[in-house]
Amino acid sequence: METQLKQEKDEKDDLAQTRLSWEAKEKKMEDEKTLLEDLCLHMKNKSRGFFARRRATEERDVILQKMLRKMQEKEMRKEAKGEKEEKEEAGRQ
């Protein structure tokens, strides 16, 4: 009976330790994500040039959503182009 309680306590401690570990990893990944987003925003602002108008009124999240949507649209165009080329190639054979 006592060994069973000890085993259950050990398992509970292991689960708690694992949960803490996952929470720490999640926090680290969120920090890294924020850092990458800041880097992307900085590079975008830097590539605009000196005479480009600044959008200081736009929120950070809005700008990031626009960048993400633009990247997804490019990816979708590439996929569509690849499918079109595959159909043309299959039609030739």
Domain ranges of the chain: 2-54
Rounded to 5 degrees, what angle do the CA atoms 68, 71, 73 make? 110
Answer yes or no: pTM beyond 0.85: no
Rounded to 5 degrees, what angle do the CA atoms 27, 33, 37 make? 145
Element (H, E) at 52: none
Q: Which pLDDT score, from 0 to 100, does residue 81 have?
A: 87
- Convert the pLDDT of each residue in 35-66 to its tens digit: 988 888 888 777 776 665 655 557 888 888 88
Contact 67, 44 (CB under 8 A): yes
- Convert the pLDDT of each residue in 14-40 to its tens digit: 999 999 999 999 999 999 998 988 888
Q: Which pLDDT score, from 0 to 100, does residue 53 have?
A: 61
Distance CA 64, CA 35 (A): 13
Give residues with Cβ within 8 angstroms of 40, minimum separation 6.
64, 67
Q: Which pLDDT score, from 0 to 100, does residue 56 have?
A: 58
